[in-house]
Structure 1
C-alpha cells in the first residue's frame, strides 16, 4: 500500500471513530453534552487534532453524525415499506411510520437531534442538517404517494382554491425534493407528516405522560384516520401482537 493510500485509510478510520464517539455521547448524555473536549477524550486525541479531520469543528461533526443516523433510519424505513405488496398502499405508508415511531421511542436523543429544537453543538449547520433529512424522508414516502396518486387519486384541494403562498410553497417543495405531485396532493402528503410528527413528538417528549401510559392506540387511530382520508381504510392492518 502506498503512503498516500495508508494515510487516507487512517484518516477514514479516525473520521469513523470520531463520529462513533460523538454518537455515543449523544445517545448516553444528549446532544447538549457534545463538545470537542468530550469527543477528543473518548477517542484519545487532543481537541485540536479533530480539526485535521473536521475543518469546521463541532458543527461539522454533528452534521456527519446526523448523516449516519439518517442513513440507518432511512434504510430501516424503506425496508419496512418493502415488507408489504406494492398494491397495498396503506401498509407501505403505515409500516415505515410505525418503524419511525419505534425508533424515536428507543432513540430519544437522536430523535431530538434531528427533530427537536436547534442545538448549540450543530451551530449554523442545523439548517442544512434539517434540509438534508427532510429530503431523505421525502424519498421514503414520496414515491409511494406518487404511485398512489397515479393509480388511486385521493381527494385534494383544487389549486385555484389554495392560498397562493401555499401553492407556491408546494411547488418549491416539489422542485427541491423531486416528489412529482400536484400542489393539492402534496398538501395531503405533508399534512399527514405534520400529524405524524406531532403524535410521535408528543410521545417522545412525554407531553401526555402520565395521563396515557400506552399511546399506541392513539397512534394507530391516527394511522387509520389518515388512510381513511385517502380512501385506503380497507387496506389498513392493525399491528401484529
Structure 2
C-alpha cells in the first residue's frame, strides 16, 4: 500500500482554467509544496511565475503546449515548448494534432510531436515531453496509432486527456496505452480524476503520473481510507 506521501508524488497539481490569475497560480504552487506533489501544471504564460515560487523546492513546473486543441502550426508548438523550458518548465504537456491523426496523416502527427521534443530538449536535455492524445475523440485503433507515433517521435509520456475535451481518463485506456508503449514510455492519466479510488485505479492500470485539479481532495480522501 502506498503512503500518503508516495501517492502525492504521482500527482501533477493542475490549474489550466482560462480565468486563472497570478494569485491562483501562487496558491497552486504553495499547495504543491505543502502536499509534496510531483509537479504543478500550468499554461505557458505562467511558467516563469510558477518557477520563481518553486525555485527552492522539489516541485517541478510543467507547461501545456498547444493547449487545449493541438491544432496550431507545428512551428508554433515548438516555439512555445522552447520558450516554456527557457522560462523554467521541466516538463511539457503537448496536445497531439487529433485532426491530422483522423486524416491518416501519421507522418504529420509524428513530425509535430518530434519537433516539440526537439525544441524542448534543445534547451534542456532533461526536459520531459508528454503527448496528450485526447482519447475521448479516438477509437481503439487511433489510440494505438497515437501511442506508436508518440513513441517513434521519442516523447517521454503519453497522456490521456486535456480535461477540456470529450471524456477523460479511463482504466481501459491507461491499460491499452501502457501495453503499446511498454517500458519505453510512461503514461499520465488525466481528466476527471477527483478521488483516491480513481487515482489508485489509474496507477494500478499502469499510470505513473496523475494530472488533476483535485490533488488535495485525493490526498485527504486517501488519508481517511488508511487511517
Q: Do both share a fold (TM > 0.5)?
A: no
Greater helix fraction, Structure 1 or Structure 2: 1
Greater strand fraction, Structure 1 or Structure 2: 2
Larger Rg: 1
TM-score normalised to the size of structure 1? 0.27
TM-score normalised to the size of structure 2? 0.28
